[in-house]
Structure 1
Amino acid sequence: MSTLHLVPGTPDAVLRALTGVLDGSGPPFAPVPADLAAAERVRRAAAPDRPLEDDCAVVLTTSGSSGEPKGVLLSRDALVASAEATHERLGGPGQWLLPMKPYFVGGLQILTRSVVAGQSPVLLQDSFSEAAATMTGSRRYTAMVPTQLARYLETDLDALRSFDAIIIGGAATPAALKTRAAEAGVTAIPAYGMTETGSGCVYAGQPLTGTSVDLDDCRILIKGSTLFSGYRLQPELTAEVLRDGWFRTQDRGELVDGQLKVIGRIDDVVISGGVNVTLPTVQARLLEHADVKDAVVLGVPDAEWGTRVVAYVVGEPSLAELRDFVAEVLPRTWAPREVHHLDALPMLASGKVDRQALL
């Protein structure tokens, strides 16, 4: 079995290590962020002192937005398959701008696509517009999380318009943000995927070539060439989620006219006062309020209700106003029973909301 190497999670270091595993000249590796707490989580998940499973080029850790991170084993074939399928969907290889951390799968795959395309990636330093202006490829791509897109729509609109395609992933893209981008002439493509699927594998509801999607009841199942090989040193968990070649995700969805619509996580349906409440639906409704800039809705254990629906909101509307607003289109029993007003939602480096910081 191979030995796993830890490398600094900087773009240059990850690009060198990635080039090595893709051309066969370098050892399997795990990128480690500079933040000491995050680095320790990566080391625990990657376990570099233990023998490495077969068919692994890179070990990435999940974001840990809702629990302890897991080490995800990604093979060279899975990384390349994801890159090639992405280029096919977008209209051909191109030059990529990296505005994300390369120790998460979204950032790593920007570098993989660059290596596969034979083009040098452009690294974001301070200014998104200045970085975009240095690009020389005939086709120009980037990827980012919804929060970045919302920010750049305000500050770097011309630069966004200069890209042939911008992949939006890492978190659900609010409908209002999709509309803003389209009306501004920005080609933003929402992607669904995760570390276990080698980054986004479904673009705008349509699976990439080599990927199949199915449902077990409402649970999203994914099969294809971009799937991970397993969880690091967790064969039981691997066997639980990888069955007959299908990855059993923790997400709920539905197929509408052949397109996948992601509804939310399996555990995003809570029972509050004996009523099933779909938290992402409540969250989506809150985001439609004119005075709500951002929001997340969580279920919190409660002695009276079983689970209390709590909203964390960037904006000033009162609890009573938001409850009435939700009840206009959803059952009043779904309305949040508690609201916390924040200046900004706490975010992980992956671009996901840090739910653990809110609870």
Structure 2
Amino acid sequence: MPTLQPFEVRPGEHAAYLEALRRALDGTGPALAPFAGHAPVLPTYAESGLPAHLALAVGTSGSTGTPKRALLTAEALIASADATHDRLGGPGQWLLPMPAQFIAGTQVLIRSLRGGTVPVVMGHFFDDAAQQLTGERRYTALVPTQLTRLLESHPDALRSFDAVLLGGAAASPRLLERAFDAGVTVVRTYGMSETAGGAVYDGVPLAGTRVDIDGDGQIEITGPSVAHGYLGDPERTAAAFRLGAQRTFRTGDLGSITDGVLAVQGRVDDLINTGGVKVAPRIVEEAVERIESIGEVVALGLPDETWGQAVSVAVRTSRDWDWSALRDLLRADLPPYALPRRFLRIEKVPTLGSGKPDRAALAALPGWETVPDSSAAQ
């Protein structure tokens, strides 16, 4: 019967977590509930109800609702790590530039264990950490905010990697173009704690994984890396998973598949309901990002007495914009109902611990400006 032990991942002490993961994977140690800082209050559960070979109860990002802990077996974690190396061209040495208690960081360590290599943990400087890598093949994993900043500060270090996995949040086409022009080998990943990390690379599922779109337009992932549900939460497990010989997770993300390639359109929970019309934030973000001098963009819905929610964008930009002029530039790319009504200039995008934009924190910031629209349409 598996046992579950909270495990604190302390800064600078990743070797201890690496060893605990090794023991969790081979069954000589307990399953782990990793955390940083304050010890988690785990939900009530019966050890008899834990799946066999449980290795990890990893926290979700908490981007929507209450954070949960996905139950991942050793087989699921290993399947994900091995399929990643298979897609990338073989095992290599990894640089860890993100918190290890989340699935993206944990998988960097598990891939290192599977590849028989020693990971390098980033300190204050990315280029210094990159220079410590000695493996024949070199990999790292970043979120878009990290890639944006490193392209500005350390492009040479980025070019030294055989692959830079990019996930955690949607990456703008402009960011991907910048990386390509800089000679950086970026591999876009899509996945979450419930799929043991990235399960789809550059729109194509990893070996053994299948991606479908259900009748509501939501993405479903089926395969060996899918979790066995949520710790101590049978109701949310039943709502999100189909468990059996093959496990399927209903992601809560909208998407489409064209010629076998998945396109992710954003979370159902992030849709902006303005005047009864639902707007996907990603469509708005991509339109704004195409404008010169615009950096990072996050679109969200803010409460509005007339429309229910107003399409709003927070932008990192080098220009002191007249927001009405910016809105007018968007008319060629967005329908009237999707045009932003509120704007906020920011120096930095606030993020959750996993690296995803923190929309709740953005909504709470002061300084949002409303742009009147004199057109007859919204």
What TM-score do you get using the length of structure 1 for normalisation?
0.94
Map Cα deviations across residues 246-286 of structure 1 (whole Å, 9 max, x no partner): 21111111111110011111233333123332221011111
Map Cα deviations across residues 141-179 of structure 1 (whole Å, 9 max, x no partner): 111111111111111111111111110011111111111
Equivalent residue, structure 1, for 2:51:
54
Equivalent residue, structure 2, for 1:128:
126
Distance 1:107 1:48 in 2: 26
**Which runs of structure 2 are paired with 1:102-251 in the superposition (5 Å)?**
102-217=100-215, 218-243=217-242, 245-251=247-253
Q: CA deviation at 1:348?
A: 1.8
Contact residue 313 and residue 342 of structure 1 kept, 8 A: yes
Equivalent residue, structure 2, for 1:339:
343
Equivalent residue, structure 2, for 1:73:
71
**1:346 counterpart SS class:** coil
Q: CA deviation at 1:319?
A: 2.4
Equivalent residue, structure 2, for 1:5:
5
Distance 1:48 1:5 in 2: 13
Once the two structures are overlaid, the 10-residue window that deviates more, 112-121 or 309-318, is: 309-318
Equivalent residue, structure 2, for 1:284:
286
Contact residue 274 and residue 309 of structure 2 kept, 8 A: yes
Once the two structures are overlaid, the 10-residue window that deviates more, 273-282 or 204-213, is: 273-282
Which residue identity lines up with residue 206 of structure 2 in the other structure? L
Which residue identity lines up with residue 109 of structure 1 in the other structure? Q
Q: CA RMSD in A?
A: 1.6
Equivalent residue, structure 2, for 1:264:
266
Distance 1:337 1:191 in 2: 32
Map Cα deviations across residues 304-337 of structure 1 (whole Å, 9 max, x no partner): 1112112112223232122212212111221111
Equivalent residue, structure 2, for 1:318:
322
**1:231 counterpart SS class:** coil
Contact residue 268 and residue 280 of structure 1 kept, 8 A: no
Equivalent residue, structure 2, for 1:354:
358
1:304 matched to 2:306? The reply is yes
Contact residue 144 and residue 166 of structure 1 kept, 8 A: yes
Once the two structures are overlaid, the 10-residue window that deviates more, 342-351 or 272-281, is: 272-281
Distance 1:275 1:128 in 2: 43
Quote the sequence identity (%). 45
Map Cα deviations across residues 80-122 of structure 1 (whole Å, 9 max, x no partner): 0000000000001111111111101000000000001111111
Which residue identity lines up with residue 31 of structure 2 in the other structure? P
**Which runs of structure 2 are paired with 1:29-48 in the superposition (5 Å)?**
29-34=32-37, 39=38, 43-44=40-41, 46-47=42-43
Contact residue 323 and residue 332 of structure 1 kept, 8 A: no
User: Which of 13, 17, 20 is equivalent to 1:17?
Assistant: 20
Q: CA deviation at 1:229?
A: 0.9
Q: Which runs of 5+ in 1 are unaligned?
A: none
Once the two structures are overlaid, the 10-residue window that deviates more, 242-251 or 163-172, is: 242-251
Q: CA deviation at 1:49?
A: 8.1
Distance 1:134 1:290 in 2: 37
Q: Which runs of 5+ in 2 are unaligned?
A: 364-378
Contact residue 6 and residue 48 of structure 1 kept, 8 A: no
Which residue identity lines up with residue 344 of structure 1 in the other structure? K
Once the two structures are overlaid, the 10-residue window that deviates more, 115-124 or 4-13, is: 4-13
Q: CA deviation at 1:291?
A: 2.4
**1:309 counterpart SS class:** strand
Once the two structures are overlaid, the 10-residue window that deviates more, 261-270 or 140-149, is: 261-270
When residues 13 and 322 of structure 1 are mapped into structure 2, their CA distance, relative to the original with a 3 A threshold, is: farther
Q: CA deviation at 1:182?
A: 0.9
Contact residue 176 and residue 288 of structure 1 kept, 8 A: yes
When residues 240 and 164 of structure 1 are mapped into structure 2, their CA distance, relative to the original with a 3 A threshold, is: same
When residues 12 and 356 of structure 1 are mapped into structure 2, their CA distance, relative to the original with a 3 A threshold, is: farther
**1:233 counterpart SS class:** coil
Which residue identity lines up with residue 356 of structure 1 in the other structure? A
**1:327 counterpart SS class:** helix
Once the two structures are overlaid, the 10-residue window that deviates more, 195-204 or 281-290, is: 281-290
Which residue identity lines up with residue 271 of structure 2 in the other structure? V
Distance 1:47 1:334 in 2: 40
Contact residue 241 and residue 248 of structure 1 kept, 8 A: yes
Once the two structures are overlaid, the 10-residue window that deviates more, 310-319 or 248-257, is: 310-319
Which residue identity lines up with residue 310 of structure 1 in the other structure? S
Contact residue 181 and residue 188 of structure 1 kept, 8 A: yes
**2:225 counterpart SS class:** coil
Q: CA deviation at 1:48?
A: 7.9
Which residue identity lines up with residue 179 of structure 2 in the other structure? A
Contact residue 64 and residue 269 of structure 2 kept, 8 A: no
Map Cα deviations across residues 183-229 of structure 1 (whole Å, 9 max, x no partner): 11110101011110110010001100010011113211100010011
Contact residue 26 and residue 74 of structure 2 kept, 8 A: no
Deviation >4 Å, runs of 4+: none
